């Protein structure tokens, strides 16, 4: 067995998890052991893949891909994760299904689940609706299994909703664990989760909410920076405060990017739309009020334009610990002079950390695969031990 994989397997052997036949919707619904198990299993899968070892533990089965918003990284990561484990991806295109004709969520959920193992859902457009929809799908397949409609209950995995983006933040955690040499070394580290200027207005709240909701469990010192009026969902702030209190970390809200960056070990400058704006936007979308949406966009872009100094540049990076903080981003970043005229980060700063952001993103397929394994097998540790011991090649090189 590979030395690194063996060490990681030892790390998860004593962890208690209760995820089998369940879902992965919000990180703060999972125990500390379940968070650690997800991270370690992702790293085991990555190590096995690097060493040309097949991890196809399914002979058949579907992984349903339901993206209700655009995506590059998460869409391909979900497909890669499914393939890594031996599942076939089937996209649910709602416009080509009976959903367009009024089919209910309960009916759709059961009809797509007869031979399915996993349902991955991205639904971040409507505030107050994305997580609710994922819960409704989970409840529908639970009922289908309980009543004998389904031979097994597929798990539901949140590929981003209005509240949290667990596959992204767990990938971020894997990256931090590697970069700082272990999860225990994150305790006491300062992370600046800050709003940043963007020439667009409707970016979801789920990434900053997910970051403060997860990293606050690691004993980190979190500085959440945002301009006046750019608030997050209040409940997620409470989650971060409670987690920090339990973990021995700290949590503060400031209205200055410079203040958040001061002595930070990690910076995560990322634009998002204000909570109140997203509430208004949701109502306009539901009412199909295109004129109202256009007016809202113009108002928000005008407000954003007053805050162009909220940009991650070399001067602000010099305020960080020894001027060497790790820059992180979920991608795609709005890069000044590259992807836009003025944006979240200067091209010099982004280029300096570009490869690190790619490494950060590279954990996502393995994180999603880890979520699949933990929710589909009651004995994930034994399954991975068997895979590592058998060491069947994934590619037979000539």
pLDDT for res 182: 96
Helix, strand, coil % (nearest 5) of the chain?
50, 15, 35
Element (H, E) at 268: strand 266-269
Confidence bin at 379 (pLDDT 50/70/90): very high
pLDDT for res 99: 75
Q: pLDDT at residue 1 above 70?
A: no
For the chain, which domains are there?
3-164+363-390 (3.40.50.1370), 168-361 (3.40.50.1370)
| Average pLDDT of span 290-313 | 96
For 72-81, 134-143, 280-289, which range has the lowest pLDDT when averaged over its residues?
280-289
**Residues in CB range of 67: below 8 A, 6 or more apart:** 74, 75, 91, 122, 159
Contact call for residues 158 and 78 (beta carbons, < 8 A):
no
pLDDT for res 304: 95
| Average pLDDT of span 103-127 | 95
Q: pLDDT at residue 217 above 70?
A: yes
Question: CB count, 10 Å around CB of 155?
Answer: 24
pLDDT in tens, 224-257: 999 999 999 999 999 999 999 999 999 999 999 9
Q: pLDDT at residue 398 above 70?
A: no
Q: Which long-range contacts (CB under 8 A, 24 or more apart) does 138-142 make?
A: 138/23, 138/25, 140/105, 140/106, 140/109, 140/110, 141/109, 141/110, 141/113
Distance CA 195, CA 310 (A): 7
Q: Crossing angle of helices 32-50/3-13, nearest 10°?
A: 160
User: C-alpha angle with apex 363: 264 to 237, nearest 5 degrees?
Assistant: 45
- Which residue in 167, 393, 128, 170 sits closest to 282, CA to CA? 128
């Amino acid at each position: 067995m590979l030395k690194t994989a063996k060490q990681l397997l030892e790390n998860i052997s004593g962890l208690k998890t209760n995820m089998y036949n369940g879902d992965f919707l919000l990180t703060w619904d999972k125990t500390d052991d379940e968070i650690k198990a997800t991270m370690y299993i992702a790293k085991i899968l990555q190590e096995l893949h690097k060493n040309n070892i097949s991890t196809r533990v399914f002979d058949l089965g579907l992984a349903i891909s339901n993206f209700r918003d655009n995506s590059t990284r998460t869409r391909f990561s979900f497909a890669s994760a499914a393939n890594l484990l031996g599942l076939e991806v089937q996209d649910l295109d709602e416009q080509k299904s009976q959903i367009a004709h009024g089919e209910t969520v309960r009916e759709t959920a059961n009809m797509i689940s007869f031979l399915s193992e996993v349902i991955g859902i991205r639904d971040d457009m409507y505030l107050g609706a994305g997580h609710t929809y994922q819960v409704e799908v989970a409840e529908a397949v639970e009922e289908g299994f309980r009543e004998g409609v389904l031979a097994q209950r597929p798990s539901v995995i949140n590929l981003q909703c209005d509240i949290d983006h667990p596959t992204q933040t767990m990938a971020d955690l894997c990256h931090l664990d590697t970069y700082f040499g272990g999860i225990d070394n994150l305790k006491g580290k300062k992370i600046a989760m800050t709003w940043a200027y963007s020439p667009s207005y409707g970016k979801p709240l789920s990434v900053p909410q997910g970051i403060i909701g997860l990293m606050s469990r690691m004993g980190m010192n979190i500085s959440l920076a945002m301009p006046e009026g750019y608030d997050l969902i209040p409940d997620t702030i409470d989650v971060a405060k409670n987690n920090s209190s339990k973990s021995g970390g700290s949590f503060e809200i400031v209205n200055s990017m410079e203040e958040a960056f001061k002595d930070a070990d990690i910076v995560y400058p990322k634009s998002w739309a204000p909570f109140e704006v997203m509430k208004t936007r949701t109502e306009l979308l539901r009412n199909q009020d295109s004129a109202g949406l256009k007016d809202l966009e113009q108002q928000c872009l005008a407000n954003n334009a007053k805050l162009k100094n909220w940009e991650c540049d070399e001067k602000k990076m010099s305020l960080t610990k020894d001027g060497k903080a790790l820059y992180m981003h979920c991608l795609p970043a709005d890069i000044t002079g590259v992807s836009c005229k003025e944006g979240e980060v200067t091209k010099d700063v982004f280029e300096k950390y570009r490869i690190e952001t790619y490494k950060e993103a590279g954990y996502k397929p393995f994180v999603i695969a880890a979520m699949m394994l933990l929710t589909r097998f009651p004995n994930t540790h034994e399954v991975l031990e068997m895979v590592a011991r058998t060491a069947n090649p994934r590619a037979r090189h000539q």
